[in-house]
Amino acid sequence: MSFRFDLLKTDGAARLGRLHTAHGPVETPVFMAVGTQASVKGLTPEQLEAAGVQMVLGNTYHLALRPGSELIAEQGGLHRFMGWPRPILTDSGGYQVFSLAANLKIDDRAAVFRSHIDGALLELSPESAVRIQEELGADIAMCLDECPAHGATADKLREAVRRTIHWAERCRAAHHRPDQALFAIVQGGTDVDLRRRCAHALAALDFPGYALGGFSVGETPHQMLAALEPSAACLPEHKPRYLMGVGRPEDILLAVARGIDMFDCVLPTRNGRNAMAFTAQGPLKLRNACHKRDSAPLESDCACPTCRQFSRAYLHHLFLADEMLGPTLLSLHNVAFYSRLLSAIRQAIAAGTFADFCAVSLARMGGEI
């Protein structure tokens, strides 16, 4: 089926919507679990579905290097390869090229770099980024963009925006897979005028959806929010809006209040592997001694297997004993927490009470325990 986005209701700038994809619908706002290398670390597809995950994200750069998009295509595509039956989004690899690759050389033709794995010389162009994602078979693919570092000069920001628009035009011309939607990425750092210029140029190309990239790269939360609101307002109203790589619970709440529909971040599983659990009252550090004899679950109202079966004391023990079950159980809880948070956000928007819900949720999320 062809991709479609339905905007169902607004509550202020907050939006309730539904993505229709070849692998089923997705209710928005949505948080996508990050499965960089065709795996959400430590969790099975069955666990993800039970935790309420609607959609996962894969990474073009990493999958192109290992095992290769051709091999994944031979195996029936990314959904079959990783055993995930629901929608998948793949990013273009642009951020990883600029953050991980060595000896990067970039011009309008392509980015040429050395692999962070074995040092092999590689090239990523708009056309090859699209080809790889078509071979992977994701429901949503992303245009190749240039993601400038935080603190880049005004000249570098302008050049990155110009190249991002140019590359988006080439990605659009190269994309031919009818069951896959191609989203464009707005760049511009924290420069609101550049963000607007980039958004207007990309909107004129009429992509099925739009992302805001280049955030959460070192700027303060205040700087991000100041640029986010006017940037989102420039995007087409009836197209999905995706804020890339931003995922603290409080940032999600504030971004939804500014009209964002889609999110992804490694925090749920990364923090889970490092003994931190997300809760509605703020994060818990399970290595802390205060949990040693605590028989309570992480959250009394959470229905995830971790909270149903295990105490904080047991989780504390697992991390001190360096048992691999600890990271799995905390990752599972964190993914379930994010699913519950986004479900509650959707319910609040539907009821027209999102502003109150947001204010109460932010007030509860205090300091770390």
CB atoms within 10 A of CB 86: 18
Tell me the HSE value of 182 on the side-chain side, using a 13 A CA sphere: 29
91 is catalytic: yes
User: Can you tell me the distance from the alpha carbon of 88 to that of 80, in angstroms, rounded to the nearest whole number?
Assistant: 11
Same domain flag for 178 and 94: yes
Same domain flag for 109 and 187: yes
Same domain flag for 303 and 197: no
Same domain flag for 278 and 257: no
The per-residue pLDDT for 271 is 98
Same domain flag for 233 and 352: no
CATH number at residue 184: 3.20.20.105
User: Can you tell me the distance from the alpha carbon of 173 to that of 207, in angstroms, rounded to the nearest whole number?
Assistant: 11
| Full domain range(s) for residue 86 | 4-238+246-263
Listing DSSP states for 242-307 in one string gives: EETT---HHHHHHHHTTT--EEEESHHHHHHHTTEE--TT--EETTSGGGTT--S-S-TT--SHHH
Nearest to 88, CA basis, from 119, 54, 63: 54
Taking the complete model, does pTM exceed 0.85, yes or no? yes
pLDDT tens-place string over residues 3-56: 999 999 999 999 999 999 999 999 999 999 999 999 999 999 999 999 999 999
Using DSSP bridges, classify how beta strands 30-34 and 56-59 pair: parallel, antiparallel or unpaired.
parallel
Instruction: State whether the Cα torsion 114-119-121-122 is positive or negative.
Output: negative
The per-residue pLDDT for 98 is 75
Q: Give pLDDT < 70 ranges for the chain.
A: 1, 101-102, 367-369
Which whole-number Å values give the CA distances from 264 to 36, 227, 268, in the listed order? Answer: 11, 19, 10
Tell me the HSE value of 290 on the side-chain side, using a 13 A CA sphere: 5
The per-residue pLDDT for 245 is 95
Number of structural domains (the chain) is 2
DSSP assignment, residue 26? Answer: E
In 62-192 the beta strands, taken as DSSP E runs, fall at: 88-91, 102-106, 111-114, 121-124, 140-142, 181-186
Choosing from 11, 91, 139, 251, the catalytic residue is 91
The per-residue pLDDT for 58 is 97
Same domain flag for 303 and 214: no
The per-residue pLDDT for 1 is 57
Same domain flag for 258 and 314: no
Using DSSP bridges, classify how beta strands 88-91 and 262-265 pair: parallel, antiparallel or unpaired.
unpaired
Which whole-number Å values give the CA distances from 180 to 107, 136, 169, 271, in the listed order? Answer: 28, 10, 17, 32
Same domain flag for 69 and 13: yes
The per-residue pLDDT for 100 is 74
Strand partners, 327: none
The per-residue pLDDT for 226 is 94
Burial (CB < 10 A; 0-12, 13-18, 19+), residue 312, is buried
Same domain flag for 197 and 303: no
